[in-house]
Amino acid sequence: MQAHGEPGLRRPAASRATQAARPPGGCRQVIGIAFRTTLAAAQNGDEAAFTRLFRDIQPALLRYLRVLAPEAAEDVASETWLRVVNHLTGFEGDEDAFRAWLFTIARRQVIDWQRSRARRPTVPLPDSEDKIRLTAPDAADLALERISTESALALVSALPAEQAEIIMLRVVAGLDTVDVARIVGKTPGAVRVAAHRGLRRLAARLERAGVTR
């Protein structure tokens, strides 16, 4: 399942257990059974079909980018979609694979943005900007459902970089552990550990802030 010219991901079909673990705030399979026909239409230049793909994923993509690249989330999202458009005809896969492919492209765009920013040292860097974030569902569901989206992103942004990116990919992007591991270059076990630690920190911060449902 790969699009020529951009990173592709070969992934096994998600198990029922994995699909059931998709978090409430994540990027779900909202198109579902109609995805393949929607994708085919978009690949053939159907504007309405592409718009449907865009609208289904864009909100989660922006939340992810606002943690990794808060000053340039909109710009990085635009660059991500530009590359998706340029390589869409070469993509093959289901809705989960498409989401994983898109977030892989987004992460590479973030890295490019960070490198470009590093070449301009006179620009002040907010604490959260150079932090890459991650996530996992399960406990994350219990923590994130207690606060608003903006508050959640602020708290996640304050976590150690690795934990924050994993949490964003697992909970917000809705990707499974295997896909997250491939995107960030770690083992599934390492992803689970980072997610668990991040979620424990997040829960502790919520308690200290006195946040209730």
pLDDT tops 80 at residue 14: no
Scanning the chain, the segments in alpha helix (DSSP H) are 16-20, 35-43, 47-68, 73-87, 95-118, 139-144, 149-157, 161-167, 177-184, 188-209
CA 110 to chain centre: 12
Q: Which pLDDT value is given to residue 135? A: 36
Instruction: Report the pLDDT value the prediction gives residue 51, as an integer from 0 to 100.
Output: 92
How confident is the model at residue 77, as a pLDDT? Answer: 94
Q: pLDDT-derived band of residue 181, with 50, 70 and 90 as boundaries? A: very high
Q: How far apart are CA 158 and CA 204, in angstroms?
A: 12
pLDDT of the residue at 5: 52
| Mean pLDDT for the stretch of residues 104-133 | 69
Note the pLDDT tens digit of each residue in 71-116: 899 999 999 999 999 999 999 999 999 999 999 999 999 999 988 8
pLDDT at 139 over 90: no
Q: Which domains does the chain show, CATH number per domain?
A: 17-213 (1.10.1740.10)
pLDDT at residue 61 greater than cutoff 70: yes
Taking alpha carbons only, the member of 111, 132, 145, 128 closest to residue 26 is: 145
Per-residue confidence at 211, pLDDT binned at 50, 70, 90? Answer: low
Are the C-beta atoms of 103 and 62 separated by less than 8 Å?
A: no
Q: What is the CA radius of gyration of the chain?
A: 17
Give the predicted TM-score (pTM) of the model.
0.69
Q: Of the ranges 16-20, 95-99, 168-172, 190-194, which one carries the lowest mean pLDDT score?
A: 16-20
Taking residues 64-74, report their average pLDDT. Answer: 91
**pLDDT attached to residue 31:** 84
What residues have CB less than 8 Å from 129, skipping those under 6 apart?
69, 70, 71, 117
Higher pLDDT, 151 or 129: 151
